[in-house]
Amino acid sequence: MKKETLASIMASLYFRADKKEYSTVNWALLKEGGQWFTDFDETIRGEKARNGANAFQSWIIKVQKR
């Protein structure tokens, strides 16, 4: 795969207004047909490699079409 079709973005997700509980995720992106999409398989693989088997254990990710 060409290098210019892959990217990543790191985001901190805060679970409380005081920002004392948060998680940081490195989202893998894949460009197809001129548009960028989240590569969930690669994101999960990468998070498990960095954070072990418990990565995403308590997450519910809802994806909605705009």
Which residue range forms the structural domain that includes residue 41? Answer: 7-13+24-54
Length of the chain, in residues: 66
The pLDDT score that the predictor gives to residue 60 is 67
The pLDDT score that the predictor gives to residue 14 is 85
Instruction: Judge whether 48 lies within some domain.
Output: yes
Instruction: Judge whether 66 lies within some domain.
Output: no
Q: CA-CA distance, 11 to 26, in Å (whole number)?
A: 6
pTM of the predicted model, to two decimals? 0.64
- The rounded average pLDDT for each run of 10 residues, N- to C-terminus, in the chain (66 residues) is 78 86 87 90 87 69 68
Domain count within the chain? 1
The pLDDT score that the predictor gives to residue 28 is 93
Q: CA-CA distance, 46 to 32, in Å (whole number)?
A: 20
Instruction: Judge whether 19 lies within some domain.
Output: no
Instruction: Judge whether 63 lies within some domain.
Output: no
- Using CA atoms, how far residue 56 sits from 6, 32, 33, 53, 65, in Å, is 22, 26, 29, 8, 22
Q: Which of 25, 64, 23 is nearest to 46 (CA)?
A: 25
